[in-house]
Amino acid sequence: MPSSSESSPIDAISTPESEVQIPFVAHEKANFEGYGGKYTIHHFYLRCHDVQKTPIRFPLDANPRHPEMNAQVGAMRDTLQNDPKDFVNRNNGIVVLASEVDSNEEMAKSDHDGMATFTFEKGEGVCNGGHTLLAIQNYGEETEAVVHVEVIELEDFDADTTSRRQEISKIADARNNNNQLQERSEANFIGYYDQYKRELIDEHVIHWHEGDPQAVDGAIDAYQFFRQLKSLDVDAYGHPLYDERGKNHSQLATSVTRVHRTWKDEMDDWKSQDGDPESRPLRYLTPLANDIIYIRDMVSHHLQHFDYGPGMRQKNLFQKYIKQDPRPLLIDMFEHKDGYDIPNPVEVLFTGLFRTNLYLSESDTKSTQLVGWFIDLNDIWAQRSKAVLNELQGDFADNENDPKDFIRANAPFTHDFYLHGMTDRVDQPPEIVYKVDEEDRARYHRVKESSDATHELTVNSDPDKPDQLVERGGNIDEIPMKRIDLEEVFNYATMEG
């Protein structure tokens, strides 16, 4: 389930409002345009008590990273409770991005607090100092405590939504210089993950950004998700039909963030070139977002519980590398609720071994309209997993039963679950198909009886010629397929009800 507000009360402060009004003790304004600055900078000093009790909280939309209760917040708590007058001296304060700032200076000059009004647009708010805000909200009762709030007035920053958010993200990254913003936080803030979130039945099974308060217990981070997704990319790695000369995916197992960094750079370039949907990086793999989570759980479950016969789990590969403490599964579609909490590199290894099972409606990934699997994932595991594990055990022995040497070697990444024939022709029609680009949130299953079909699939033996999936008319002459809503296909253990 998502993290509770007790550990990260982000829900109370994450929704932006059009305006926030709050009293201030002092205010200074500086316009640095003559020195190369883009924006007007305001320095406010606010009573922590006022910040805490302000009904409309500062939005955190501008901060790609959400604050969490940690030792830093604990230290601020001690200052707020024991030395409130020293809080402004010991704390770096809060940095806020706002479209417009208005202050009533006359009130401040008459020995009364002035009143500041901050106007926010989407994506603006606290860009640094979220932990300070969190500490004040929880422990800022003392009226003697004061906090410095720097407000960057963006005014009429003329840019489209993505460019504006990129600018905000750059400011946030620079202002968070003590702890550099992770790329996943920036990518999430800009909106690069949005397509994947729409595909997932439960988007919260992934930590999309640092301190993600909505991520469920046991969620994987975005870096691991993209490593697994990328392992299926036939533009980068080998496939007997779509990329005969491609290399294996061994580099993915030893690099945590490089794949994501490359993808994000490609997304930046794509967005700067008007973002043609058909050229979006990894576009054709987007419908497999749920399958990535399913493969991860299936491998975890089956490595612990699948019946291989006697002796398999006594081999060194299992005992020294695969066998781990159990973890709860994110998907509730297996006999047991848990499986091995296998190392991330092993997850990447196994996911990529399913790549030869990948089906495309044509070799050109930029124009392919269909993606899917030749054989159901559970069926191909039942058919081939014992042979693959025996091959991997041989590789493990060849690397002197050393997990590090094993995962760095090329050989383990060359064993495929699906074995094609000796030609470059399509061997059989796919059992599972998704439409690319069309957000109908459905999967198409091959059925035996034409009467059960809702669609008809035409498959060409030449992978360079496009296949077609169309709604059935009268009689079905080609492959009968049935449309099933994704909510009926994937049952997530994380979903309520």
In a shared domain, residues 165 and 205: no
pLDDT at site 157: 56
Q: What is the Cα gyration radius of the chain?
A: 27
* Domain count for the chain: 2
pLDDT at site 494: 82
pLDDT tier at 496 (50, 70, 90 boundaries)?
low
In a shared domain, residues 307 and 406: yes
In a shared domain, residues 210 and 161: no
In a shared domain, residues 280 and 362: yes
Of 429, 449, 426, nearest in space to 376 by CA: 429
- In angstroms, the CA 285 to CA 307 distance is 31
Mean pLDDT of 48-55: 85
By mean pLDDT, which of 6-10, 13-17, 245-249, 425-429 is the weakest?
A: 6-10
- Report the predicted TM-score, pTM, of the whole model to 2 decimal places: 0.73
Top mean pLDDT of 69-83, 149-163, 254-268, 407-421 is at 407-421
In a shared domain, residues 346 and 226: yes
Last residue of one domain, picked from the residues 120, 147, 181: 181
Mean pLDDT of 60-68: 68
Where do runs of H (alpha helix) occur along 286-402? 289-305, 316-317, 344-352, 377-398
In a shared domain, residues 118 and 237: no
Domain that holds residue 75: 9-181
Read off the DSSP letter of residue 314: G
Residue 165's φ and ψ, nearest 5 degrees, are -70, -35
- In angstroms, the CA 149 to CA 103 distance is 14
By mean pLDDT, which of 41-45, 105-109, 337-341, 385-389 is the weakest?
A: 105-109
Q: Tell whether 192 is covered by a domain.
A: no
- In angstroms, the CA 62 to CA 241 distance is 45
In a shared domain, residues 341 and 414: yes
Last residue of one domain, picked from the residues 181, 215, 241: 181
In a shared domain, residues 274 and 162: no
Last residue of one domain, picked from the residues 138, 155, 181: 181
pLDDT at site 401: 97
Strand 370-373 to 358-360 pairing:
antiparallel
Q: Tell whether 320 is covered by a domain.
A: yes
Q: Tell whether 3 is covered by a domain.
A: no
In a shared domain, residues 225 and 135: no
Mean pLDDT of 218-228: 95
pLDDT tier at 105 (50, 70, 90 boundaries)?
low
Q: Tell whether 187 is covered by a domain.
A: no
Average pLDDT of the chain is 87
- Could you read off the pLDDT of 367-411 as tens digits, one per residue? 999 999 999 999 999 999 999 999 999 999 999 999 999 999 999
Q: Tell whether 497 is covered by a domain.
A: no
Q: Tell whether 188 is covered by a domain.
A: no
In a shared domain, residues 168 and 205: no
Above pLDDT 90, what percent of the chain?
56
In a shared domain, residues 174 and 201: no
pLDDT of 213 above 90: no
By mean pLDDT, which of 127-136, 338-347, 392-401, 430-439 is the weakest?
A: 127-136
Q: Tell whether 30 is covered by a domain.
A: yes
Q: Tell whether 54 is covered by a domain.
A: yes
In a shared domain, residues 75 and 129: yes
